[in-house]
Amino acid sequence: MAFTVPKEVYNGKINQVEVGKDQQVIFGGEEVLPFLSFEGKAVSNVPLALEIQDIDPGDWAPSLTDIYGPVMGNPAEWAKLCQDEFKADMICLRLTGTHPDNGDKSPEEAGKVVEAVLSAIKVPLIIFGSNHTEKDAAVIKHVAEVAANTGSIIGKAQEKNYKTFAAVATAYNHKLVALSDLDINLSKQLNILLTQSGFDGKNIIIDAMSSTLGYGLEYTYSVMERIRLSALQQNDAMMQMPMISDVGEVTWKIKEAKATEEEQPGWGAVEPRGILWESLAALSFLMAGGNLVVLRHPKALATIRKTVAEF
């Protein structure tokens, strides 16, 4: 029997999304499983964002503060460093300082940070709240307006606050990250709620809830694979949004990325271990269908960029 290339027939494709103003970035648009260009139009562009915060986070690992220390607490400088020095395709600004337990900064204070960051960079901006559903809704109302018509990505809309997010994303022309709880049905449900509220599904980016190696990676991985399969095979329009992987935050808080060799003899050098932890988490999610990745370490960014170029 002769060998024939085992190609799949797909019925659907992934939405293509365009973001930014001065320097636009396009992602999504693939028609086959991740990077399988032998069977059709595959993912070709995976934008890699570096994460910054509105305040000095205070608890980042030395592997990160060694790099960002001087600019932490100055979001505009921090953003510029990531763009110019580390060649991030996008900047992801997480407004952790707005969390009620972490400074409780007002929407107006957050708005000033957004404004400063936007004027410091040309690449597109991702704006995330502090993962406090009520406060995020209040903050996003204001900062989305500050960033009006910059084609930014805002998030994360969740079941409890999606209406506010959808309204401001539409009013000020932003794309929306929709976060659900590690479950394909919940993810689909949220997309349905968003579109039923009048939001254009073409402007949604799915966050299936990221995790990292040893901390639930297999759940995220399989949920993402299943979302991709139902988008492509079943042509399910509510699953055809590009997916974002927010891996920096979940990776750099775990022991395996932070513990020094003295603290954990037998685990090897801490810096490359952390970088690899982040890189492998990002890579796994790209294998499972991710389109856009948020990272913290510039070397993880460089490694993933080089890998993606080989596909």
Partner 1 sequence: MGLTGIQIFKYLPKTNCGDCKFPTCLAFAMRLAAAQVRLDACPHVSEEGKKILNEVSAPPVRLVKIGAGDRVIETGDETVLFRHEKKFNHPPGLALAIADNLSDQEIEQKVQEVNNSTMERVGQQLRVDLISLQDKSGDAARFSQVAKKVAGLSSAALILQSLKPETMKAALIETAARKPLIYAATQDNYSQMAALAKEYQTPLTVYSDQGLEALSDLVDKVTAAGVEDLVLDSGARSSGKMLSDLTQIRRAAIKKKFKSLGYPAIVFPGEGESDPLMEAVRAGIGIAKYASLIVLNSIRKEALLPLYTLRQNIYTDPQQPMQVAENLYKVGEPAADSPLLITTNFSLTYFIVLGEVENSKVPSWLLVADSEGLSVLTAWAADKFNAPKIAKLVKKQNIEEKIKHRNLIIPGYVSVLSGEIEEELPGWKVLVGPREAANLPKYLRDMA
Cα–Cα distance for residue pair 226/85, rounded to 1 Å: 37
Indicate which of ligand B12, partner 1, none lies near residue 283 (CB less than 5 to 8 Å, by partner kind).
partner 1
Distance CA 216, CA 86 (A): 29
186 lies in the binding site for partner 1 (CB under 8 A): no
Binding residue for ligand B12, selected from 8, 22, 181, 263, defined by CB under 6 A: 181
Residue facing ligand B12 at closest CB distance: 181
Question: Strand pairing of 16-19 and 25-28?
Answer: antiparallel
CA-CA distance, 247 to 79, in Å (whole number)? 18
Q: In what order do the strands lie in the sheet with 244-246?
A: 204-207, 175-179, 153-157, 125-128, 90-94, 48-53, 292-295, 244-246
One symbol per residue from 26 to 65: x for binding partner 1 (CB under 8 A), - otherwise; what is it? ---------xxxx---------------------------
The one of ligand B12, partner 1, none whose footprint includes residue 2, by CB under 5 to 8 A per kind, is partner 1
**Min. distance of Cβ 133 from ligand B12 in angstroms?**
14
Q: How far is the CB of 5 from ligand B12 (least distance, A)?
A: 36
Q: Among residues 222, 230, 233, 260, which is the contact residue for partner 1, using CB under 8 A?
A: 222
Which entry of partner 1, ligand B12, none binds 183, CB below 5 to 8 A by partner kind? ligand B12
Q: Cα 123 vs. chain centroid, distance in angstroms? A: 15
Distance CA 145, CA 170 (A): 11
In the numeric block, the tokens 């020094």 are attached to 260
What is the nearest approach in angstroms of partner 1 to the Cβ of residue 230?
A: 12
User: Minimum CB separation from ligand B12 for residue 186, in Å?
Assistant: 8
Is residue 50 within 8 A of residue 91, CB to CB? The reply is yes
Q: Tokens 């799915």, residue?
A: 206
Segment 76 to 105, residues that bind partner 1, using CB under 8 A: 101
Residues in region 136-175 near partner 1 by CB under 8 A: none
Please give the span between the terminal C-alpha atoms of the chain, in angstroms, as a whole number: 30
Contact positions vs partner 1 (CB under 8 A): 1-6, 35-38, 101, 213-219, 221-222, 225-226, 229, 253-256, 266-270, 272-273, 275-277, 279-280, 283-284, 287-288, 299, 303-304, 306-307, 310-311
